Each structure stands twice: as structure tokens, then as C-alpha cells.
Structure 1
């Protein structure tokens, strides 16, 4: 099952003056001279491996989509929530170099992915199946093949 979900995420190394992704809440941690960023991060399951799933992150990059400096644009693609027949959001001027086809998510409830949401197929995280998470929706059946193909290409696998 290729679920899109959100989890509470903290990153103690982030420089909060640069800004996080959406809904960041910095919390001072004075004794360590650090200010971690606590936020909801979104992920999409790309493979299930026994008691854990391999997932790729979904980020908005401060509303810049895949235009953020330093990204491997070719590893990114649009991911969006919408009902059957809905179209993906327009690319930002300059994102035309993205080669991955957009993937649609059928939402579970009212949560929608930001129009700048980009899925980073080149970065994989492992999550145990027992983690607390909030479901956002499921990748639609017609886009499951694209999701798998995009991920395998970014990871250097031959499809």
C-alpha cells in the first residue's frame, strides 16, 4: 500500500534562520546551545520490507518547489492531492527540467498537499510500521507504476 503520511519530525542541526518546510515550530534548547526545528514532515511509501517501509520525503522547499538551490532537480517530481480527473499544479518557471511525471494522491480527509509539494525520489528513509503517523491519502492506482519507476530511476536501478 502506497500511503502518503505525516509524522512529527525534529531536526536539531537545522539553522532555523533559513526556515524549514511548512508548519515549522522552533523550540529553544538552551543547555545544548541549539534550536531544533519541530515540524510535520510528509512522506510517501515506495516499498514495504517486512516490519518497515521505505519512504521518500515530500517537501515544499519554502514554497520554491524544485527551484531551491543545491537540489538534484532530476530526482524530484510533483505530488498532489486531488480527486479523479484533477490536474497537477503548474510547474514553477524554470522547473521544466524535471523529468518525473506527476503523481496524484487520493486524499483521506480534508488535508491537501501544498501546490509546491515535490517528492524527492533520490532520498529514502526507513520507517518501522509501528510509528505514529497521520494518513494524508493513497497514491492512486493509475500512478503506482509511475511512483515505482520514478523511485527506481532516481536510485539507479534498472526498471
Structure 2
């Protein structure tokens, strides 16, 4: 195979990988039965209501009206690099976080439960199996920032 052909093939493969990073959100996002979807078996997701301690993170303490809490969540998300709020519906907020280099998308969801005084949080990689702890680190960073403000 010629060097030129190999470079063309490498460029095409790179474009394919990069374009797949911007894939559509997975099915199952949103509120189901009063909560967010459980994490899959892959180690690229954390959720504050997950029964598995390896995937569980702490929820965000919150009080106030749904609008006030979701406004605060939206501001927190929008203050993060490469993060965008994509859906807000009632007490639910969905955001997308993109990685710096390849633009991989992680879906981050929040559900405010006023009766419990907390916000459930779920952060999951859209593609791949392992995320090198990125979603756990993000959830912990968001929680620390939430508690400081």
C-alpha cells in the first residue's frame, strides 16, 4: 500500500471517529419512574442513586423552587468548558460535555427532588467502555462547585 493511500485511509478513519463522537443522545435519557436511568454495566457512568458503590456519587443538596434550583444548575453547567444545556423540562436538566481533543460527548443529567432536598446527578460517556474516571471526576467537581456557591 502506498504512503499516500495509507494517509488517505488514516484521514478517513479519523473523520469517522470524530464524527461518531457527536452521535445522537442514547435512548433512556430523562426521567423514568421518578428517577434517572441506572448506569450500564460499563465503567463509564456514575449516578447518585446507583445501588453499586463503584458507580455511586453523592447527590447535590438543594432547596428552593424548581425554577430557582434549575436556574442555578444551568448556570453551573454553562460555566464549565465545552458544556451545553440541551434540555430542561420540569425538574430535569440534560447537558452535554465535550472532550477537548476529540470532542467525545458525555451526557450529564440532573433531577431535582424537592421533597428529598436533593438533586440526583448522572454522568455517562456516550461511547466506549472505560472513561478513565472522567465522569466521576466531573461529578465530584460539579458537587464541590455547587457546595461553594
TM-score by length of 2: 0.28
| Structure having the larger proportion of residues in strand | 1
Higher helix fraction (1 or 2) = 2
Is the radius of gyration larger for structure 1 or structure 2? 2
State the TM-score, normalizing by the size of structure 1: 0.27
